[in-house]
A and B are shown apart, each in its own frame.
Chain A
Amino acid sequence: MLQLRQVKKSYAEPDGGRLPILDIPLWEVKDGEQMVLVGKSGCGKTTLLHTIAGITRADSGEISIDGINIARLSEAGVDRVRANKLGYVFQTFNLLAGFTALENVLLGMTFGGGRRDPKRARHLLERVGLAHRTHHRPTALSVGEQQRVAVARALANRPSLLLADEPTANIDPRNQQKIVDLIRETCREENVALIIVTHAPEVAGQFSRVDKLEEINLVRADAPPLEK
């Protein structure tokens, strides 16, 4: 489903040098597989997710999603893949404040070029337990409810892969498990592969596959900058 091959990513430094972040020889996630990615702060977890999503372009290497190497695609092509194949759940939810819960979910279907399906959007909101909150704006929802809307939005375009970047970090412990369960269950129901980045051992402990970024990434967190 997802395959990274020889993926390298570095950032430019103010002094003109480049700071290597990622150097991943090979990394794969299978169809419908659910896994956790852990690692120290600043080791490049979010960069990896952004690179997989095409939000950040890799310096080199191949990133194949459902057999499509997005590294070779134009920016518009990457946008299309992101719109059709990927779902993204953010730590800060990133719901659009001016839109209702339903509209936020519909927004997830807007850019893929496919049919906007209000019925599915309602179904997803019902699935995440918010059937009664469809017309509420994010400010009228609790933190847990906001994240559930974000999960529904991420799944709206029937993605193959859901990327969740610390989805429980801003949620109280009582609701953390509910969110994790919700994400896992809905991904399972929709046959969506799942990569969760988390710092929480209790979350990581529930997954059969837990990858440490330091183990798949040749760049160590304390690696010196590359020479100019």
Chain B
Amino acid sequence: MSWFRIALRSIQQRGVASLLTMLSMALGVTLVVAVLSIDGVLAESFRNNASLGYNIIVGAKGGQEQLVLNTVFFLSRPIENVPYTYYLEFLKQPERDRLQRDSYAARGAEVWRETAELQALTGNLGLSGAALDAVAAPIEQSLVPDMTLPRHPPVELKGRHGKYGQMTELAIPLCLGDFYGTFRVVGTTPALFDDLVYDIERNRKFEFAQGRNFVWRSPQHGYFEAVLGAKVASDIQLVELHLNVAGNAAARALVTERANWSRIDERDGALVVALGQGTEESDVFLSLRRLQKDAEEGKRQLDDEQQQALTALLDPGVVLRRSQRNVTLGDAIAPAHGEPGGHLHQRKFTVVGILKPSGTPNDRAVFINMEGFYLMEDHAKPVARPKPEEAAEGPPLSESEQRAQMAEDRRRQQEVERAADPEPLPAELREVTAILLKVDVMFAPGIENYINEGQQAQAALPVAVITRLFEFFVGPLKRVLLLLTVMICVVSAISILVSIYNSMSERRGEIAVMRALGAGRGTVMGIILLEATLLALGGGVLGWLLGHAGVLIASPWIEEHTSVHVGFLTWTTLPTEMLLIPGLIVLAIVVGVWPAISAYQTDVAKSLGK
């Protein structure tokens, strides 16, 4: 008989009491495991979020926390924007030059050059004054029809690196402000997925589960491509209406015009309309009825074919069936401006890629081409138009003139938004919400200081800010929870003490018999301590299993809310959990010592009886 067997038998003998004692310990350990797992999940989530692949965020002046929360976690609201030209200061010369090609300044310089050439030519031809303007004006208009151009070459913009260009390994601009459902829409460049290694430790870039990254300009979709985060793709459900108007081109055209759709195609003998996110069937038919009313009132002219199509669409039996599906590749998405539920942009972006889950906030965002972002309504920076020279000294514009100018601006923007393949927005009208910078760690503090000392923007070191926020909010909570669970373990340990100690009076006889059979005092003491340890470890193992089973059961919820995948074992917490074993042994020995000493002191002769 080994000591282990003797201790085990003793535990078995007091079955119910032992079980209750173990359950009490199990409860304590379950809570410890739960707290450690929560901490592990938070730490993993934090690690994922802090492992950004960039080390500085540049944004408008304001609070650093807000900048980081908004840029990294897509929480809170953007502070303000910084000019696009400021972003260009982080680029090296070739890239900077390339992106400036679409600026008014560049176009103006081009006009200036061409005008100068023209002047030289027309001078030779004897043209001047009104005759010269008559030749030059159409050239200007063809280049930039909507703005008055500066008439000098902006030489300082060209032919150099950006101010921070040579210290910057990677600069990725972000434009925020729109939503798709409740998810943030982020205008950015393809570099976010092509070049950014977000998990440096494991050399991981964002990967695509389906499709591909958007490109600067695709032959198929122009500037209007989108990539969905994994969570967006799994969460957004689109309603599909199967309409009994297959082959009816006029009906298809009316639906295309009147409904907010994600995709319209014909299959299974029906016109299948996948409605845009948040759009309901009733919205479509309400819009069609309004069209009918407009037609009846003469506000809208419909030809016979259209009228028949409309009648067919408003037929009560037009909807053959309804279904739901996830948003997927090829769907068109229309961002909502400013806030969830804001007015929908007319411009739609085609989903070309869906990201694999990364455990980062990017799982919960929609990424669109920044060039397309700028071409949406209300996304151009309002700039003061230079007055024509002849009006410069005249009276200021009246209120009605200003309104007319704004209306004209708006009309032009809508035209741009409706245009099939518009030109990129000039650089002067662009802004960025934030710039993600990857710079050499040696330069990071210097660049941060330099930017912060300037007037235009602020720089934040996101890891430092996130660590600060994490410690501020989660640190105390974690400590309190751990303290509570440790207290529960101590209480459980005391219950082991009580259980064993209470059994001592009835066990004195047994101890005396063992002593009479030759067991030393140390032996009986050891057996009692072993018994306490077995109770603690048994309860500990049970609690550990229960704790992890609980985590496993909660894992879908955890994954949904944190994008952190947890299985039965949370590897990040395993080293800490391993400390539970020596911890429980020490605890068991501490509480076992008292009854063990009592066993040690047992008077054999008295306790033996006869």
Contacts and interface: CB of A to CB of B under 8 A. Distances in A.
Is the A/B pair a real complex?
A: yes
Interface of A: 46, 50, 53, 55-56, 75-76, 79-80, 82-84, 86, 88, 90-92, 94, 96-99, 103, 106-112, 116, 153, 157, 165-166, 169
A86 B608 CA distance: 16
Given A92-B610, A94-B608, A98-B9, A75 B520 contact: yes
Contacts of B515: 55, 79
Nearest to A86: B518
A97 B507 CA distance: 10
A58 to B, nearest CB: 13
Contacts of A98: 9-10, 12-13
B2 to A, nearest CB: 8
A55 B610 contact: no
A50 B605 contact: yes
Nearest to A84: B518
Nearest to A91: B610
Contacts of A111: 514, 517-520, 523
Contact of A55 (B1, B10, B13, B605): B605
Given A110-B1, A110-B6, A116-B1, A166 B516 contact: no
Given A46-B610, A50-B605, A96-B510, A103 B1 contact: yes
A66 B72 CA distance: 85
Nearest to B15: A98
A19 to B, nearest CB: 15
Given A56-B605, A106-B1, A157 B13 contact: no
Contact of A94 (B1, B509, B518, B605): B509
Contact of B516 (A80, A84, A88, A99): A88
Given A90-B609, A99-B9, A106-B1, 7 more contacts: A79-B518, A79-B520, A82-B517, A86-B518, A90-B610, A94-B512, A96-B514
B518 A80 contact: yes
A165 B609 CA distance: 11
A102 B301 CA distance: 104
Interface of B: 1-2, 5-6, 9-10, 12-13, 509-510, 512-523, 604-605, 608-610
Nearest to B509: A94
Nearest to B513: A94
B516 to A, nearest CB: 5
Query: Binding site of B, secondary structure by majority: helix, strand, loop or mixed?
Result: helix
A92 B6 CA distance: 21
A99 B13 CA distance: 9
A157 B518 contact: yes
A197 B510 CA distance: 22
B513 A96 contact: yes
Nearest to B524: A111
B157 to A, nearest CB: 91
Contacts of A169: 610
Contacts of A80: 518, 520
25 contacts: A50-B608, A56-B605, A76-B522, A80-B518, A82-B516, A82-B517, A91-B609, A94-B512, A97-B510, A98-B9, A98-B12, A99-B9, A103-B1, A103-B9, A106-B1, A107-B1, A110-B2, A110-B517, A110-B519, A111-B514, A111-B517, A111-B523, A112-B518, A116-B1, A153-B517
A107 B510 CA distance: 11
Contacts of B516: 53, 55, 82, 88, 90, 94
Nearest to A97: B13
Contacts of B520: 75-76, 79-80, 111
Nearest to B9: A98
A111 B517 CA distance: 7
| Pairs A-B, 6 closest by C-beta atoms | A83-B518, A98-B13, A111-B518, A91-B610, A79-B520, A111-B519
A201 B517 CA distance: 29
A66 to B, nearest CB: 15
Nearest to A57: B605
A75 B604 CA distance: 13
B514 A107 contact: yes
Tell which of A50, A56, A98, A166 has the most Cβ of chain B within 10 Å.
A98
Contacts of A109: 1
Nearest to B610: A91
Contacts of B513: 90, 94, 96
A76 B525 CA distance: 14
A63 to B, nearest CB: 15
A83 B519 contact: yes
Tell which of A79, A92, A108 has the most Cβ of chain B within 10 Å.
A79
Nearest to A108: B517
A59 to B, nearest CB: 14
A55 B602 CA distance: 11
A56 B513 CA distance: 14
Contacts of A82: 516-518
Given A55-B604, A97-B13, A88 B517 contact: yes
Given A96-B510, A103-B5, A83 B604 contact: no
Tell which of B509, B517, B521 has the most Cβ of chain A within 10 Å.
B517
Tell which of B604, B605, B610 has the most Cβ of chain A within 10 Å.
B610
Nearest to A51: B605
A137 B12 CA distance: 13
A96 B515 CA distance: 12
Contact of B6 (A46, A53, A107): A107
Contacts of A83: 517-519
A99 to B, nearest CB: 6
Contact of A166 (B510, B514, B519, B610): B610
B11 to A, nearest CB: 9
Contacts of A106: 1
Contact of A165 (B518, B521, B610): B610
Contact of A107 (B517, B522, B610): B517
Nearest to B521: A75
Contacts of B509: 94
A86 B510 CA distance: 18
A194 B610 CA distance: 18
Contacts of A55: 515-516, 604-605, 608
A110 B608 CA distance: 19
A44 to B, nearest CB: 12
A145 B593 CA distance: 37
Tell which of A56, A111, A112 has the most Cβ of chain B within 10 Å.
A111
Contact of A90 (B9, B13, B510, B608): B608
Contacts of B514: 96, 107, 111
Contacts of B519: 79, 83, 110-111
A67 B363 CA distance: 85
A80 B513 CA distance: 15
Tell which of A96, A103, A169 has the most Cβ of chain B within 10 Å.
A96
A9 to B, nearest CB: 11
A2 B573 CA distance: 63
B606 to A, nearest CB: 10
Contacts of B604: 55
A156 to B, nearest CB: 9
Tell which of B1, B2, B509, B605 has the most Cβ of chain A within 10 Å.
B1
